Each structure stands twice: as C-alpha cells, then as structure tokens.
Amino acid sequence: MPPTVPAPGNTLTNIQIKVRRLTRSPSEALLTTSALNEYINTFVVYDFPEHLRTFNNRTTFNFWCNPFQDVYPTDELSFGESANPEQNPLYNFQNKYLTVHKPFYIAGFPSFYSQSPGQFYSIFPRINSIQTIGVTGDGATVTFTGNLNTQGIVPSPTFGAQQATCYLKNNVLFESVDINGNGLTLTDVPCLDATTGNPTVWGNLYTPANQPTEIPLITNYNTLPTLPDEVIPNNYINYVTGQFVITFDIAPKAGFAINSQTVLVQTGRPRYILFYDNQFTLRPVPDQPYQINFEVYSRPTWLMENDSVPELEELWQFIALAAAKKVFEDRLDMDSVALILPEYKKQEELCLRRTLVQYANERVATIYTEQTGVSANTWGWGWDGLGNGVE
C-alpha cells in the first residue's frame, strides 16, 4: 500500500518557514520568531485588505438603535469608561470593518443612505428653536427650573397624525446676559449608561468657558475621556420631557430674558441614515429599538497560533511573499525586493481570481435588473428607496 501523502501546508508555521527561506534567515539570530510574526500579521491585518478586497470578506452587519438616540458612534472613545461597551456591536466598529455599503434596511424596509451631511441635513435641517423659559433675571438668582416641552407631541404634516418628540442631544443651549453685559451659556453633554456606554435621556449642562473634566474634549487619543454617567442635580436636561434645572456661574442681569435654544424633532421608525465622521445618524429619531442591516467589508483577523490558517487557505503563499518583502524593505535590500516582486504580483492575481469569478456570475445591477416580472403589488418591480413598491 503506497504511503499516504499529507496535504500541503498552509498554517502560520508553513508561512514562517517560507519567509525564512525567502529571506535567507533560517535562525533566530538572523530573524526572531517574534519579529517574523509581526511582519506576517502586519500584512494580514493592515496591508492585505487594502491590496485585495476579497468577496469572502464582504458580509452583513447588524445593530439595533435605541429610543431617542439619533447618533451612533463607531469608535472607542465615545463610550467613555463604561463597564461593558463591547456589548454594543458598534464599539470599535471603525477598526473592525473597512467600509460600509448599500443596501441599508431598517426594520426590514429599504432605507435612504447618504455619506453627505449637506444632502442629509438639507432634508432634515437642524434649525434652533429659540424661546424664553418664562422668567427673567433679577441680578441675584442663578438657578432656574422649568419644562421646555409641555405638549410632548406635535402634529405631523407627513403622516397626518400626532407624533412623539424629543430634543436632539448635543444641541441644547441655555443663554442670558450678566450684569456686565457678558454672555452666559450652558451647553449639554449626554449622560452615558455606566454599563454599555449608550447615551441616556438625560444630559448635563456645563459652562463652555469653564469646562470640567467630564467634557469630552479629546486631546489624547490613547486615553479614554471621563464622560458623564450621573446626572448633576443643579444642571441637567431631560431630552424627552424637556424638564430642566440650570445654574449659571453668575446671576443674569435684572430684566434680561433667559432663553433656550433647542432642536425639537419627531420620533418614529427611521427611514434615512447618514454615515459621516465615523458615526451613523438616523432620521426620524427612533421611538423604539429597530434592527438595522447593511453590508460591510470586514478586516481579516491575525494568525494567533502556529496552527492558525488564513481565512482562505490559498492566501498563505501570498502572505509569505508579502512578509518577506517587508523584511527586505526594512533591511534596505531593494535588489531582493525587485527579485521577489514578480512572484508577489503573480500570487496577488491568483488570490484575486476567486473574487473576480464570483462577481462575474451576475450582471451589474440597474433599475432594469430589479424587474423580476412579478406583480407590483408584491413590490417585485423595485423600490423607491423608502420601502414603497413602485411600478
């Protein structure tokens, strides 16, 4: 009986062996295993997805919106020092995923997607409503209480019914004038849930000229800011009810009005989504949780163990050549870089072949390819982008 021939290797160990052969570095003295793994995984995580966007790295991403929260950050810093921010699928999203793509679905409905704040806010302008809180300064009182929104609902010109409302977070301002004619201002910072890091319906109010440590002014991107997770009893706003307590550092001048500047918006099922500045913005502001789905390119994971295998097994030779190229570059051995480059490009083309063949299976999507021939009553003739079937 003939001897069994093992399958060709494709693990991290095989990649290490090939890199050592290519770079003529067979020993730890010439190239340590730690440095070798650094070269390999640097390419896998950071370089590879920019060289090749393979079909298998495109996947569907889901997250769930929260009631009365319109902005959803995708970094780490915006979650502050909360206990378990990893519970939120958007935590560090910007480093786990490379790009986002249409189509977008909210609660199963196809939704309008934009990457242009100019386009998005031309549809949903953030126009401040300026109104007095009902009292004026007396030159002595610094603390005032009240409620901005006594109705809680407003007529909806779109749906012909009354819709619940809320105030946009990070858009609340209380202002007046002190005895010397200087401006008095208090601006809001949303309070975060101490566990998940999600914004709550409460916000604290601060004087911009005397910002405490809780204000998220991020100057050191290696340090998490201390965002507020507790309500300040003498300076807060409730974004849903409009209840507030404000305390100025100096008493407003006698007879001068104390005004609020806010953006009151309707809530409901979101139908529009903006992705800009590493955060998602929804309109209308959600009135309850909804699932949001869209496509993303995910970043490859690094090879952690000696028996780890690349996500696609055929990538191992390409990874080895790329890591060897990095070794030569750090040694300033440009002659060896030139020698290895033709095989590197050949392997790159071979690795891309699977994706090219996969995409060749279907024609480029147009408004005509969406016409399946079924009845328009089943929405089979396409979509208008808002969840409505069109004929």
Task: Give the per-residue pLDDT at 372.
Answer: 54
88 and 163 co-located in one domain: no
Burial class for 327, CB neighbours closer than 10 Å (0-12, 13-18, 19+)? buried
148 and 239 co-located in one domain: yes
Looking from the CA of 368 toward its CB, the CA atoms found within 13 Å total: 2
Token couple for 282: 């929804």
Token couple for 111: 């939704």
Task: Give the per-residue pLDDT at 218.
Answer: 38
Task: Give the per-residue pLDDT at 371.
Answer: 60
Extended beta strands in the chain, E state? 58-64, 71-73, 97-106, 109-114, 129-136, 143-147, 153-155, 162-167, 173-177, 183-192, 199-206, 236-238, 243-247, 257-262, 264-268, 272-276, 279-283, 285-286, 291-298
Task: Give the per-residue pLDDT at 2.
Answer: 65
Q: Which residues contact 144 (CB under 8 A, 6 or more apart)?
A: 133, 135, 245, 246, 247, 258
Separation of alpha carbons 127 and 130, rounded Å:
9
108 and 238 co-located in one domain: no
Separation of alpha carbons 209 and 72, rounded Å:
27
pLDDT digits (tens, 9 = 90+) for 290-338: 999 999 999 988 888 888 888 888 899 999 999 999 999 999 999 999 9
SS3 of residue 253 by DSSP: coil
240 and 333 co-located in one domain: no
Residue 295 contacts residue 66 (beta carbons within 8 Å): no
Task: Give the per-residue pLDDT at 222.
Answer: 39
Task: Give the per-residue pLDDT at 87.
Answer: 85
347 and 369 co-located in one domain: no
80 and 183 co-located in one domain: no
- Please check whether residue 307 lies inside any domain of the structure: no
Task: Give the per-residue pLDDT at 374.
Answer: 47
31 and 95 co-located in one domain: no
- 203: Cα separation from own chain's centroid: 22
Separation of alpha carbons 193 and 80, rounded Å:
10
Q: Which residues contact 284 (CB under 8 A, 6 or more apart)?
A: 163, 265, 266, 267, 268, 269, 270, 271
- Please check whether residue 1 lies inside any domain of the structure: no
Residue 314 contacts residue 343 (beta carbons within 8 Å): no
- Please check whether residue 387 lies inside any domain of the structure: no
- Please check whether residue 6 lies inside any domain of the structure: no
pLDDT digits (tens, 9 = 90+) for 70-120: 999 999 888 877 888 888 899 999 999 999 999 999 999 999 999 999 999
Q: Which regions in the chain score pLDDT beneath 70?
A: 1-3, 149-163, 209-227, 365-391
Kindly compute the dihedral angle of the four CA atoms of residues 227, 232, 235, 237, in this order, to the nearest 10 degrees: 70
- Please check whether residue 138 lies inside any domain of the structure: yes
256 and 287 co-located in one domain: no
Residues spanned by the domain of 179: 126-265
Separation of alpha carbons 193 and 225, rounded Å:
14
Domain total of the chain = 3
Task: Give the per-residue pLDDT at 159.
Answer: 42
Token couple for 236: 């807060």
Question: Vertex 23, ends 21 and 28: CA angle to 5°?
Answer: 80
Task: Give the per-residue pLDDT at 230.
Answer: 85
- Please check whether residue 391 lies inside any domain of the structure: no
75 and 32 co-located in one domain: no
- Please check whether residue 389 lies inside any domain of the structure: no
180 and 198 co-located in one domain: yes
- Please check whether residue 352 lies inside any domain of the structure: yes
Question: Vertex 296, ends 301 and 190: CA angle to 5°?
Answer: 95
Nearest to 255, CA basis, from 179, 148, 175, 174:
179
Burial class for 6, CB neighbours closer than 10 Å (0-12, 13-18, 19+)? exposed
145 and 61 co-located in one domain: no
94 and 187 co-located in one domain: no
